[in-house]
A and B are shown apart, each in its own frame.
Chain A
């Protein structure tokens, strides 16, 4: 039983889960069929609202995403059940290439209509995989209303999610550092909505106060940043968070900011694709590895500096 891309895309448009899942695999594996898949589905991409969730490991991202999915499935507009899809990214081992994808453990009680796909980041360091964006496009064309993307548990600088989401939600918990942590570059700079999860724990109020104090210092805050307290395991604060995200979207749409945001994301995506392609061209070609070894020897013999070597290599490609 072999499926052609055309058959799979037809299945995707019928919202067939198996065909959708196989297309996702092709995208994830960066198979040669990806170009054809992209052009076949492009008319149906752009309907879903993409919400990115990021934050440190153990902050409760999976539980929160599951609770929101449950909320939106039950809260479909005009009597129709909303279609919610989830992409959850976990780390690939840099040593073995293997991965344990465990986000589904927190998502077991969801409605059967929710499509969940676990992804390994496959060595990408920005908190998502290189192909997460492409996988989101497939799930968008699948007919998702809400597309919830959960990053790898991140530290401080893994902020690529902001480049493939319509809104970035940063999930924090009490007791994980003082206000200087919040002032550091990275995570908080991409936050558009902040969730203080596990808000029943000591220190939640002071964390909210600290976040409020740094919000005022943000230079590019044309929209005020909402802060929502939740206890995801008890479903507390989920309605409010859902409402906050919905209002954020309404604001974005009415002020033309969603379009700006998507253009910015598209720009970043083109750059990523070009860079990935160039990297493959330069280092993946025949003899590239041998040349690199020879260059290392040259440098060790003091015949060339690393700077000169890099100039020489670049000049071969840029005329």
Chain B
């Protein structure tokens, strides 16, 4: 059986706009993925812990608060500490181009702004996940 792609969709920090996260979660579900949705106000620690326990392939963070330059590096760091570097950390929200480039440099994946077609995100995840998988032998 082909392994299912598992994705954790999170809303870190204090902003309560979870519509985007829910739309993404539904779109990934419709694309045949197993989406673990954790809801609002997640700390980076909670996100990294959930990602490890759920053994997800991808974490998608939805950030509209402007705290992306703090939250993405922190989650990335916690994943490294947990030995879970194969997980693709991606996301979206209101993030300036320069910041996207800076985050990509430290190992964050593609980030998506408002108006991105869902297909583009689905295709990106489908292309990226197989490159990172390390199944036990």
Contacts and interface: CB of A to CB of B under 8 A. Distances in A.
B36 A101 contact: yes
A8 B137 CA distance: 10
A251 interface: no
A90 to B, nearest CB: 9
A interface: dominant SS: mixed
Contact of B39 (A23, A25, A105, A112): A105
Interface footprint category on A: 35 or more
Contacts of A172: none
A105 B37 contact: yes
B39 A104 contact: yes
A116 B53 contact: yes
Given A22-B55, A98-B29, A33 B34 contact: no
Given A2-B135, A100-B26, A101-B35, A18 B82 contact: yes
A96 B52 contact: no
B54 A21 contact: yes
B134 A3 contact: yes
A204 B52 CA distance: 40
Contacts of A102: 37, 39
Nearest to A120: B34
Given A18-B84, A26-B136, A100-B26, A105 B38 contact: yes
Interface in B95-121: none
Interface footprint category on B: 35 or more
Interface in A1-36: 1-5, 7-8, 17-18, 21-26, 29-31, 33
B52 A18 contact: yes
Contacts of A96: 29-32
Interface stretch (B42-50, B60-68, B69-77, B123-131): B42-50
A115 interface: yes
Interface in A21-77: 21-26, 29-31, 33
B83 to A, nearest CB: 6
Nearest to A23: B136
A148 to B, nearest CB: 14
A115 B53 CA distance: 7
B64 to A, nearest CB: 19
Given A2-B137, A97-B4, A98-B32, A17 B52 contact: yes
Nearest to B136: A3
Contacts of A105: 37-39
Nearest to A106: B39
Contacts of A117: 53-54
B8 to A, nearest CB: 9
Given A96-B31, A98-B33, A2 B53 contact: no
Interface in A75-90: none
Contacts of A112: 45, 49
Interface of A: 1-5, 7-8, 17-18, 21-26, 29-31, 33, 92-93, 96-102, 104-105, 108, 112, 115-118, 120, 122
Given A2-B134, A104-B39, A108-B38, 7 more contacts: A3-B134, A18-B84, A22-B136, A96-B31, A98-B28, A98-B34, A104-B36
7 contacts: A2-B134, A2-B137, A4-B137, A29-B3, A92-B34, A96-B30, A98-B29
Closest 7 CB pairs of A and B: A105-B39, A98-B29, A21-B55, A97-B32, A3-B136, A98-B32, A25-B55
